[in-house]
């Protein structure tokens, strides 16, 4: 009985270990890719929006974005470890209307990540302008050659 239990545990452990060992581009076609929404960053007003939404280095990221920390529980910017993660950043054009961008999904294809998001624009004009941004953090093992944005 003890040998059977030990064998079953060994097989289960082996399956778990193998399922965690994945290559750099391990996402299978059509698979939902997990992500985290980064908070408390702003787009620098002395920069132009990037042509490519995928940012893979800390230097590239901080050339475009600054930290918007404030007091309180949720005041720290989201930590991004570029040795293990990359970001997908959407920078909306300057606007005097409130813009709320919400990520819906990131799916893998053969050589691309399809990032679907929703955008809602307010109806009332504000007394100021801003550059709304949405930044999502993705595990580097899911990095594909390009990112395709799909706005709903």
143 vs 120, residue with greater confidence: 120
List the one residue out of 113, 127, 119, 128 whose CA is nearest residue 101. 119
Which position has the token pair 């929703």? 118
Residue 114 region, left (φ>0) first, then alpha (ψ -120 to 50), else beta?
beta
Quote the strand ranges of the chain, DSSP E: 35-38, 41-43, 54-55, 65-67, 85-91, 95-108, 112-130, 133-139, 146-151
| Higher pLDDT, residue 36 or 111 | 36
The whole model's pTM is what? 0.78
pLDDT in tens, 47-106: 999 999 999 999 999 999 999 988 888 899 999 999 999 999 999 999 999 999 999 999
């Amino acid at each position: 009985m003890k040998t059977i239990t030990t064998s079953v545990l060994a097989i289960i452990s082996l399956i778990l270990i193998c399922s965690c060992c994945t290559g750099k581009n391990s996402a299978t076609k059509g698979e939902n890719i997990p992500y985290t929404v980064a908070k408390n960053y702003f787009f620098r007003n002395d920069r132009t929006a990037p042509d490519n939404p995928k940012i893979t280095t800390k230097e590239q990221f901080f050339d475009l974005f600054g930290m918007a920390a404030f007091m309180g529980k949720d005041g720290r910017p989201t930590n991004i470890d570029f040795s293990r993660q990359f970001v997908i950043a959407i920078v909306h054009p300057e606007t005097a209307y409130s813009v709320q961008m919400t990520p819906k999904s990131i799916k893998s294809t053969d050589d691309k990540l399809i990032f679907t998001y929703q955008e809602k624009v307010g109806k009332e004009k504000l007394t100021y302008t801003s550059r709304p941004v949405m930044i999502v953090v993705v595990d580097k093992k899911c990095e594909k050659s390009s990112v395709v944005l799909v706005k709903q």
